[in-house]
Every structure is written in structure tokens, then in C-alpha cells.
């Protein structure tokens, strides 16, 4: 099987756009398995838009090496080519001596034995790019690995030819092509890129620009350099207990941050997934055993959510009657009493006795360790809002990040609300957390 990771020297270097362009070209003759390094929810949605098939997160700090290896092999089966989009700069990750991996793109590539194609952003640079490239080559070699090829981004034919010629005097690693300045841009907002559904003519523009880079990147050379990958040996993940539950998944413009592996796992356990929209549907689907609210951008759709009073009332009634529900981040926000965003306040569903206030800066960001009554797992937070309680609650989670500790998560009957994003394959007790929720949903059926 062929595979490669598109990594880069820094964030905001054009990784996602170049990944999409390469996927658009390479999908024509290959069945592609798509992956994203790290916890990002939005980049995989771009992959899915182009490929028409799922893209999966591979996140060593959250999932651990064994689960990453197993899930990578699972999703790569019966594919011709696996493409992993890296995260941040090649070596950027967690600063910790206590972990087997810092979660960087480099560590993931080395764990999976995947060739690295290094994307180097040349905007505002000329000959100095050579020093940058040689520095990355040297450090990768020092760490007993190898860069398989280099692509120069946002540069000219002339600069490409110069850097390629100069590099050949110092290294055998090839520069396999360049990408000129293109007339396409992926717009961003506070949590990352905008959702692909918000970008007009995305597919059309990617197809048009992909034709340009077929003339500037040697794709045959790329595929030759990544051929004959020595496969890692992963362990199959098996589950003994089947669950015949109806699980409602909130999915629309406001709520769409889900790890694809979480949804797959629920189905593999025997659950029926029933999707609904808090914006467009008038009520919750009938006969659900569990509701799963993921994160997203509810703050951008508060007027639409507020207009749908019938849905909010139906949801509130069912949760008050004991329907099991987990609400992560955006879902947690939606279930509060009042939400203040850009100096304007909106009503929430009113399940939790708290208000939400959006800030103009990050409140929490990064990996942490979560302890839920002895169930311990790695999780991730990324939010600009804060919860204000009317009276001190009984918290669900104790969270630790380095030397810092804080509390998070509250419960109302069988409804759980919390900020951390939880992967069911999280290290240590991710599956225990899922089983706790499913046992509760099973019990509430009888």
C-alpha cells in the first residue's frame, strides 16, 4: 500500500489547500484513505467534501500509539493510497517528557512508518528557503528518519528551479514540484477554517486549480518515492457487548464536530444512528434511547436556534423526563439558560442552571487529563466561551493540564454537559466512559 503525510514547516503554510488539490488529482486513479493528524474537526470535512468518503483523525496524545496504529490500518484496508494531512509545523507538539510521543506530525509519520512530503511556504522568501529546508532535513535525519520529497508553495518557476538546483548540491532529497500563487483561498474564523459548506464553488475552484499543479508537480515522482511502504502491525480492536440503542445525533449548521470513529463505533456496537437538526426540525425524533450533541458553531446560529421554539421545548421536556444525553462543548452551551455572544443575549434550552459568555480570546485550548469518578482519559478543549453558574454545582470531572487543575462538567438527571471533546478510543478509559453512557441509556429503556 502507498501512503504519505503532507507536513509543513509551520502553521498557516497552505497544508489543507495543497492536501485537497493533491487529493483531487490522485483520486482519479486511486481509492484514497484520508486522515488528519491531531484533533481538528474541520479539515477532515474538507477531505470528505473532495473525496466523498470519510476522513479520520489520528491523534497520538489522545488515542495512544496502539489505537492510532489499529485505526490507521482499519481505515486503510482496501485502499490504494493513504494521505495524512499533518498538523502545525512538522515537529510541533506537546512539551512533555512523560509521553511516548509529543503528538507532532513527525512522531505520527514515524510511528506509522509513512513517508513525509514536506511543504515549504515560500511567500516573502527567496534564497533563504534553502537554509530552512536543509535545517529540516538535518533534524529529521538526526532523529533517524527521512523526508521523501519537498514541495515549494506560493513561489515562482524561477525560484523553484533555483532552489532545486542549489539543494542538489547538499542533499539527494528531491524537490518534486512547486505551487504558484493560486486564485483560491480557504477562509478562517476563530476555531479554524470555515466549514466547507460555506465556501462558494469550492469543488469547482479546486478542480480548476488542480489542473494548474498537474503541470508544476511531478506526480509520478511523488508516487514513486512513496512506493513499497513497509506496513506496521496493528492489533484489531474488538468489543464483546452489543448495543441495540437508538442514538440521536444533532447534525446541522450549528452542530457538526464529531470524530468519525466515534460514530462508526456506535454503529459497530449495534446502535442505530438517527440524525436530527436543532435548527430545522420541529421536535426530537421519537423513541430515542440516547442523544449525542457534539460541538460546532452554535454561537453563529443563535437566532435560528432561538426561533425554533417547538424543538427547544420538546428537547427540554424529554431531557427533564430522563432521556440520556451527552452534550459536548457547543451542545453544552446550547443546553444552558442564557448565551451571550457579541454583547447580545439569547435563550438556551434551559436544562443547566448556568449562563454562557463568549470572550474575544481563548478560554481553554489543548490536551488535558480528565478524571470522571475514576474513569480517566485524555481529552481536548478549544473554546472562546466560559460558563457562569448561578450557584456552585457538583462537578463531574477533575481536569489536569500540567500543574493546573480545574473542574468541569455538570449533570441534570441523565443529561451530561461538558466542554472537553471526548474520543471514545481515548487512552486509558475512553471505552469505559462510552460504556457508562450506554449502560445508562440501556437502563433508561426499561
- Catalytically annotated residues: 329
Among candidate residues 222, 215, 155, 152, the one with its CA nearest the CA of residue 182? 155
Residues 58/71, Cβ–Cβ less than 8 Å = yes
- What letter would DSSP give residue 421? B
Q: Is the dihedral of CA 316, 318, 321, 322 positive or negative?
A: negative
Tell me the sheet residues that pair with 119.
8, 151
Shortest CA distance to 153 belongs to which of 194, 116, 188, 124?
A: 124
Distances (CA, A) of 327 to 250, 331, 338, 418: 10, 5, 16, 6
Radius of gyration for the chain, computed over Cα atoms and rounded to the nearest angstrom: 23
| Distance in angstroms (rounded) separating the CA atoms of residues 109 and 244 | 37
The cell for 350 is 434551559
The string of DSSP letters for 400-414 reads EETTEEEEE-EEETT
Find the Cα–Cα–Cα–Cα dihedral 365, 436, 388, 310, rounded to 10°: 110
> Quick check: 332 and 355 in contact, CB under 8 A?
no
Burial classification of residue 264, based on how many CB atoms lie within 10 Å of its CB (0-12 exposed, 13-18 middle, 19 or more buried): middle
Tell me the torsion sign for CA atoms 326, 329, 334, 336. Answer: positive
How distant, in Å, are the alpha carbons of 73, 249, 316, 332 from that of 335? 38, 15, 9, 5
What DSSP designation does 234 have? P
Compute the distance between CA of residue 319 and CA of residue 340 in angstroms, rounded to an integer. 23
Amino acid at each position: 500500500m502507498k501512503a504519505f503525510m503532507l507536513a509543513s514547516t509551520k502553521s498557516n503554510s497552505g497544508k489543507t489547500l495543497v492536501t485537497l488539490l493533491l487529493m483531487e488529482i490522485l483520486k482519479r486513479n486511486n481509492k484514497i484513505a484520508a486522515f488528519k493528524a491531531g484533533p481538528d474537526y474541520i479539515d477532515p470535512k474538507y477531505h470528505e467534501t473532495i473525496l466523498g468518503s470519510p476522513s479520520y483523525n489520528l491523534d497520538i496524545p489522545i488515542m495512544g500509539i496502539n489505537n492510532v496504529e489499529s485505526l490507521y490500518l482499519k481505515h486503510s484496508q482496501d485502499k490504494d493510497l493513504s494521505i495524512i494531512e499533518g498538523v502545525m509545523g512538522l515537529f510541533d507538539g506537546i512539551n512533555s517528557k512523560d509521553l511516548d510521543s509529543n503528538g507532532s506530525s513527525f512522531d505520527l509519520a514515524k510511528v506509522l512508518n509513512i513517508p513525509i512530503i514536506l511543504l515549504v511556504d515560500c511567500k516573502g522568501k527567496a534564497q533563504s528557503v534553502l537554509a530552512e529546508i536543509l535545517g529540516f532535513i538535518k533534524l529529521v535525519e538526526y532523529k533517524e528518519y527521512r523526508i521523501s520529497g519537498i514541495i515549494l508553495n506560493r513561489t515562482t518557476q524561477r525560484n523553484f528551479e533555483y532552489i532545486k538546483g542549489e539543494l542538489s548540491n547538499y542533499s539527494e532529497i528531491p524537490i518534486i514540484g512547486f505551487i504558484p500563487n493560486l486564485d483560491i483561498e480557504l477562509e478562517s474564523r476563530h476555531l479554524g477554517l470555515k466549514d466547507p459548506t460555506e465556501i462558494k464553488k469550492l469543488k469547482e475552484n479546486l478542480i480548476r486549480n488542480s489542473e494548474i499543479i498537474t503541470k508544476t508537480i511531478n506526480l509520478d515522482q511523488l508516487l514513486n518515492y512513496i512506493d513499497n511502504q513497509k506496513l506496521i502491525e496493528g492489533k484489531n480492536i474488538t468489543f464483546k457487548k452489543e448495543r441495540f440503542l437508538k442514538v440521536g445525533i444533532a447534525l446541522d449548521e450549528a452542530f457538526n464536530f464529531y470524530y468519525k470513529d466515534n460514530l462508526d463505533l456506535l454503529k459497530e456496537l449495534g446502535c442505530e444512528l438517527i440524525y436530527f437538526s436543532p435548527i430545522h426540525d420541529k421536535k426530537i425524533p421519537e423513541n430515542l434511547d440516547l442523544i449525542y450533541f457534539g460541538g460546532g458553531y452554535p454561537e453563529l446560529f443563535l437566532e435560528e436556534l432561538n426561533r425554533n421554539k417547538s424543538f427547544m421545548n420538546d428537547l427540554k421536556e424529554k431531557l427533564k423526563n430522563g432521556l440520556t444525553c451527552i452534550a459536548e462543548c457547543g451542545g453544552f452551551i446550547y443546553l444552558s439558560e442564557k448565551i451571550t455572544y457579541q454583547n447580545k443575549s439569547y435563550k438556551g434550552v434551559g436544562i443547566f442552571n448556568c449562563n454562557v459568555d463568549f470572550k474575544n480570546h481563548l478560554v481553554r485550548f489543548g490536551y488535558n487529563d480528565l478524571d470522571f469518578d475514576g474513569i480517566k482519559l485524555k481529552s481536548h478543549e478549544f473554546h472562546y466561551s466560559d460558563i457562569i453558574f448561578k450557584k456552585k454545582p457538583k462537578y463531574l470531572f477533575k481536569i489536569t493540564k500540567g500543574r493546573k487543575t480545574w473542574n468541569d462538567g455538570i449533570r441534570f438527571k441523565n443529561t451530561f454537559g461538558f466542554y472537553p471533546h471526548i474520543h471514545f478510543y481515548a487512552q486509558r478509559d475512553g471505552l469505559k466512559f462510552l460504556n457508562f453512557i450506554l449502560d445508562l441509556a440501556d437502563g433508561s429503556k426499561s
